[in-house]
Amino acid sequence: MDYIHLNDLQFYGYHGALPEETKLGQIFQVTITLACDLKKAGETDDLDATVNYAEVFELCKEIVEGKPYLLIEAVAERIATRILEEYASKVSGCRIQLVKPNPPIAGHYASVAVDITRGTI
């Protein structure tokens, strides 16, 4: 199995269960791993033989910067679902890590995150 990684994408969104999160918004970081066969793309140097990661970036941006969700689990699920729908012929599975670097929680921590895997990876 081969993989495409999109690491630490950053977007500004309004997701969260607390009122200040949906009013003020915050930065979200997303890392995406796509499981796919890259052999033909490597042999032919043909963009149509692989997954265009610029398109995946835009898909992710649309979701994170779009409709607010209460849970980051829901945001990650939407990203995974859309990737698997739109790239069904090329992607057998995906892993989405969604990080909320600065949630409004009292205390000391680096971040909170969810990490989901859908399909075969």
- Which of 39, 40, 67, 100 is labelled catalytic? 100
What is the chain's length?
121
- 82 is written with which tokens? 């859309």
Q: Report the relative pairing of strands 2-13 and 112-119 from DSSP bridges.
A: unpaired
CA distances (Å), origin 96, targets 53, 106, 117: 14, 26, 6
24 contacts 103 by C-beta, under 8 angstroms: no
Look up 40 and say whether it is catalytic. no
Residues with active-site annotation: 100
